[in-house]
Structure 1
Amino acid sequence: MQQARRLRQIAIGVVMLMAAETAVVAESSGLAFADTTTNASAASASSDTSNASGPAEAQDETSAVLMARLQNRKTEVLSARTTDSTTYALPSGELETEAYAGPVRVKQDGTWKNINTSLSDTGADLTPQAATADIAVSDGATRIWHR
């Protein structure tokens, strides 16, 4: 009886400690957490769909690691994004960085956009939608000179 009571007190203490740690992580990251308590068949069905939808995204490394562990899939660390690399938090708690031979995205107006060299008409010129250099191509209009 005494041993069961002591084990119950330890279990309550561990639960309280974990709740406090989660609250500190939630407060520092500003993110909300999904309820991960589901039955086995729903969990297997949701894991199939979450893996199919690709990696998730989180603003910072701490949030990404926590999200990767909770969702059991890799999560991109948006604050570590560069023109030529992508960093992911893995469910194991490790980080993985993919480095590319050249730029794959460009920052425009404060947001990252994948490079897209499709030309769009911007008046007198044709310009790419998202490129690393400022490029303008003439739309071929002819000018008529009057004397």
Structure 2
Amino acid sequence: MRPLELVREHGRTMLIVGFAGGVPLDRLIHQPIEIGQFLRLALALSVALGRLHKGRLIHKDLKPANVIANSTTQPVWLTGFGIASHLPRAPQSPEPAEFIAGTLAHMAPEQTGRMNRSIDSRSDRYSLGRHLL
């Protein structure tokens, strides 16, 4: 995706991007996927998440609806960065349970506030393995 414009609307900042085609992953996973296509998709998604983490960002809401996949050209794009954050350099104390952000059905246990662990890149990898692959 190519960034086109950064806009502020209704108190939110949004990045407008050029769309190269594809469909949300949640539309693809409700039908059988050929194993080769699945493996290519899984690899592309793992690489995309690795690049995000290399840039010291945590998505925090990784779910099929926030992944755009192009089954023809095989790339994937991550979307839905509304609650993403920078990865802290030092461990952070966990947020209290009343500050849960994300989609409960797809989040890692530490995001619920019920575990005494801070949120980091492992939280995204949990969501990737548990709910996307």
Higher alpha-carbon Rg: 1
The structure in which a higher percent of residues are strand is 1
TM > 0.5: no
* TM-score normalised to structure 1 length: 0.22
* TM-score normalised to structure 2 length: 0.23
